[in-house]
Amino acid sequence: MTGDRPAPSSRPAAGRQPADSDTAWWRRAVIYQVYPRSFADSNGDGIGDLPGLLSRLDYLASLGVDAVWISPFYRSPQDDNGYDISDYQDVDPMFGTLADVDALIAGLHERGMKLIIDVVLNHTSDEHPWFTESRSSKDSPKRDWYWWRPARDGLPAGSPGAEPTNWRSFFSPSAWQLDEATGEYYLHLFSVRQPDLNWENPEVRGALYAMLRWWLDRGVDGFRMDVINMVSKRLPLRDGPPLPGGDGYGDGWASFISGPRIHEFLRELHAEVIAGRDGAPLTVGEMPGVSLDDAAVFTDPASAEVDMVFQFEHVELDRDPSDRLAVRPLRLTSLKASLARWQAGLATAGWNSLYFGNHDQPRAVSRYGSADPAHREASAKLLATVLHLHRGTPYVYQGEELGMTNYPFASADEIADIESRHYYRQAVDAGQDPAQALAALRRRSRDNARTPMQWDASPHAGFTTGTPWLPVNPNYPGINAAAQAGDQDSVLSYYRRLIALRHDLPVVAEGDFTLLLPGDERIWAFTRRLGATELLVVANLSDGPAEAGIPAGRDWAAAELLLSNYPPPAAATLVLRAWEARVYRRSGRAQPPVG
């Protein structure tokens, strides 16, 4: 697999980070996510690219982040914007070249930042040579690299209900696609163009580990592993319970979420790829549906599986489980209880990742804050304060540091995302009013996060000189990086202070966590404590004033105010203004360390 590639040693010097003796550097780190097609376009084709990203490294350095996670840039037919990979060891020409990746590694390392690449190990593109070979015949030596199954007993292939199991796919009706040439079906949990790899086959795992080692040899500093808890399937593959809708599809979740060999596979990956490497490469596993108990095992250093997981509990609270497009009202009490539950669950072993936004989620400020111009900036800063002051590694999704908002989609035709288009079609086919389905997409669609980065007030927000692949949010003249860079009161400047706080204060990174006022629907308050240092974080998630009725509130209000998104309060009280957030510090008696 790697033999026909230029050996990493022949590449231009990429400038490896000096050997990092700190094996848990990521516990004090803030990681910035770049979605390359929407970040910066260098050649006017309307699609962001690696040279565009290279031209913005000083911006990232000035934000103070420690590492960049970049979504896939590999060769791909782009059915799912690069999460369908046809060559793991080359760069799609739309994004640049391998030399650009080398320059990216070097440019980040020179500035003291690391590069985390996004690897999709659960599936490939249907154009990957492994799949082309696998589908060529039932006798192919790679046949067993993917999940091939005959039609259900007694039913002719292609007839209704003949799929090997009743599972619904995330991006299409059935999770099985009939391949006419051999008369068998292949499994694709995502789009028909994303066939699932068969991790039961040791050759598959070996080829993936070799590829990951090749990237580490090239100088990358870690991996974000896409839907990694789906790689172990429960055998035999069986029907799942019927889903609502009466269309015959079932929920296969129990057959592929954290399946029976998942811990074994991740331990093997760690042993084969990560163990013994300089620089403590980071592994973060994206894990839809992961339970807290499982996450504690996945992220316990003693397990040697992954360093942290992206869990989904808090971003599912406002979703209707039976209808991915439908929005359920979100209660603050549920949101903060969920985060607190994970804080407690991973307090003594394991580690949390902290995120509100990424390329699959709507914009955090529109979802959890207020996009109302009167409150947008304050609420963006508030959300950042609350998130970054939890214990764990915070992730900043591009544009979040500017307070970028959801896009006002006027028609479903403006939406490019395969998931949104699928759910819209499904809803309308099932009789839903198209206006209602569009309203849901406006709140939900992944494209809300994928509109181009807003760099300045020039045409297309300075993202491209051409026509952007997805429209730029019309609010860019007021919300852009150039306008915020020199403004001490901007959301961007606030993020810089917040990120510096984590680097400067061990209590932010390592302190223990206690939720206060769990029943309050407006105030989010908690303390952090490390030795003799204690922080109080208190925030008002409402459009009017609210008082935080916490014990010892008067003492806290007289303590040192470390950070706030408002000018200091006139009186020493915990009456907070609309969307106000404060971080107080005080020193007390040293407490015994927890854990």
Q: How far is the CB of 117 from ligand NOJ (least distance, A)?
A: 13
Across the beta sheet with 148-149, the strand order is: 148-149, 184-187, 176-179
Residue type at position 151: A
Residues 398 and 210: their CA atoms lie apart, in Å, by 31
Maximum C-alpha span of the chain? 78
120 binds ligand NOJ (CB under 6 A): yes
**Among positions 47, 65, 85, 227, the unique one binding ligand NOJ when judged by CB under 6 A:** 227
Q: CA 576, 582, 588, 593 torsion: positive or negative?
A: positive
147 binds ligand NOJ (CB under 6 A): no
Q: How far is the CB of 69 from ligand NOJ (least distance, A)?
A: 11
Nearer to ligand NOJ, 152 or 193 (CB): 193
Q: Out of 80, 84, 286, 580, pick the active-site residue.
A: 286
Are 69 and 33 contacting, i.e. CB atoms less than 8 angstroms apart?
A: yes
423 binds ligand NOJ (CB under 6 A): no
Supply φ then ψ for residue 554, to 5 degrees: -65, -40
Residues 399 and 258: their CA atoms lie apart, in Å, by 32
- Dihedral angle over CA of 415, 166, 136, 4, nearest 10: 60
Q: How far is the CB of 464 from ligand NOJ (least distance, A)?
A: 22
Residues 528-587 interacting with ligand NOJ (rule: CB under 6 A): none
Q: Out of 184, 226, 417, 534, pick the active-site residue.
A: 226
Catalytic (active site) residue 286: yes
231 binds ligand NOJ (CB under 6 A): no
Nearer to ligand NOJ, 257 or 501 (CB): 257
How many residues bind ligand NOJ (CB under 6 A)? The answer is: 9
DSSP letter (8 states) at residue 19: P
**524 pairs with which residues across the strands?**
539
Residue 454 CB coordination number (10 Å)? 27
Are 513 and 386 contacting, i.e. CB atoms less than 8 angstroms apart?
A: no
Supply φ then ψ for residue 339, to 5 degrees: -60, -40
65 binds ligand NOJ (CB under 6 A): no
Nearer to ligand NOJ, 224 or 528 (CB): 224
Nearer to ligand NOJ, 92 or 360 (CB): 360
Nearer to ligand NOJ, 286 or 305 (CB): 286
Residue 522 CB coordination number (10 Å)? 18
Binding mask 181-210 vs ligand NOJ (x if CB under 6 A, - otherwise)? ---------x--------------------
Q: What is the CA radius of gyration of the chain?
A: 24
Nearer to ligand NOJ, 397 or 556 (CB): 397
Supply φ then ψ for residue 425, to 5 degrees: -60, -45
Residues 306-365 interacting with ligand NOJ (rule: CB under 6 A): 359-360
83 binds ligand NOJ (CB under 6 A): yes
Catalytic (active site) residue 133: no
Which residues are identified as catalytic? 226, 286
Binding site for ligand NOJ (CB under 6 A): 80, 83, 120, 190, 226-227, 286, 359-360
